[in-house]
Amino acid sequence: MTTATRRRWVLHVDMDQFIAAVEVLRRPELAGKPVVVGGRGDPTERGVVSTASYEARAFGVGSGMPLRVALKKLPDAVFLPVDADAYTAASDAVMETLRGLGVVVEVLGWDEAFLGVETEDPVAFAHRVHDAVFDATALHCSVGIGDNKLRAKIATDFGKPQGIYTLTQANWFDVMGERGTDALWGIGKKTAKKLAGMGITTVTALAATDDAVLAAEFGPKTGPWIGTKGRGVDTSPVSSQPWIARSHSRETTFQQDLDDWNAVTDEVRKLALKVRDDLLAENRKAVRVTLKVRYVPFETHTTTAALAEETFDPEVIAGAAAALVDRLDHSRKVRLMGVRLQMTPPEAQTLANTAGDESGT
């Protein structure tokens, strides 16, 4: 009889239809009904779907879809407004439950986290995770088991809902080999399209591509990094250090299309000043401004520029954001504008970098 070896595993915990599930907990009469959460809960207004219950997803309603499109697909759905405070409270309860298991917990957002676990039976531990979360919150989760974060993250989707799935080096190509490259965590549709233009359409093909070929197309750092995705390689550790934002952003969706570009510029200035207030709260100055525009009907573009120096100056920040409006297509109508400000690193990180520089001289 062989004894299982105790070793390090990565588990990815993903709450099932999290926002919708929180709403159903508060309104049990919604169980089993198609629920769509987004905006102010009025599907006749402009806004996007934050999440949809599985019952709504069966009719093609999904996150990021305009609420008006969701209404056309599913006029009988229950539409609810976003309640960020309720989701934050539920998320906090989930994450505290995970920390109570005595493992390293890396929070990824409201509804997901990586766990660094040392065990001889990861499947049994995954069941323990699910049961602990459900007992504490009455919310279900799915758990992906991997020998690194990439594989654990991808594994979760194979187990949904309320399931457990294991993806490791041993079964990587059996499971993923013939799938498209956009099935890989970190590879988006644009990158997948570019890879397809190179004749690379599957995970196996990507894994077999020489790093030099990828570097020539995507750059010396990004190209080889894309190659590691195809091979299922990820050396990043599970860390309990809190995630630190590099930027803050605000955006607004106009209920009526704007074709007055003076009005657009005014809105951009207002957004920039709101984001500046977010930076003041963290005491981290702005170093770069990015402008996001969504033209009618639903085409999105961004443009960006570095600031001459790091600053909190409201006139500099608002002026830089407004200047980017000149780069946009003024012949088109606008339905959404957004402003993002990249910040200086946190003080502790800056001091650490300075100490490292000094020790190396």
Q: Which residues are catalytic?
A: 112
Name 107's bridge partners.
Answer: 113
DSSP 206-223: HHHS-HHHHHHHH-TTHH
Strands 7-15 and 112-119: antiparallel
Helix spans in 81-218 (H): 84-99, 122-137, 149-159, 172-176, 189-197, 203-208, 211-218
Name 12's bridge partners.
Answer: 114, 144
Distance of CA 139 to the CA centre of its chain: 21
Tell me how far apart the alpha carbons of residues 62 and 77 are, in angstroms, rounded to a whole number.
Answer: 13
Residues whose CB falls within 8 Å of the CB of residue 235, separated by 6 or more in sequence, listed in order: 148
Residue 3, burial from CB neighbour count under 10 angstroms (0-12, 13-18, 19+): exposed
Tell me how far apart the alpha carbons of residues 140 and 17 are, in angstroms, rounded to a whole number.
Answer: 9
Q: Residue 67: left if φ>0, alpha if ψ -120 to 50, beta else—which one?
A: alpha
| Sheet with 112-119, edge to edge strand ranges | 104-109, 112-119, 7-15, 141-146, 164-167
Q: Which of 104, 38, 111, 343 is nearest to 242 (CA)?
A: 104
Q: Tally DSSP H helices, then E strands, for the chain.
A: 14, 12
Tell me how far apart the alpha carbons of residues 146 and 169 are, in angstroms, rounded to a whole number.
Answer: 9
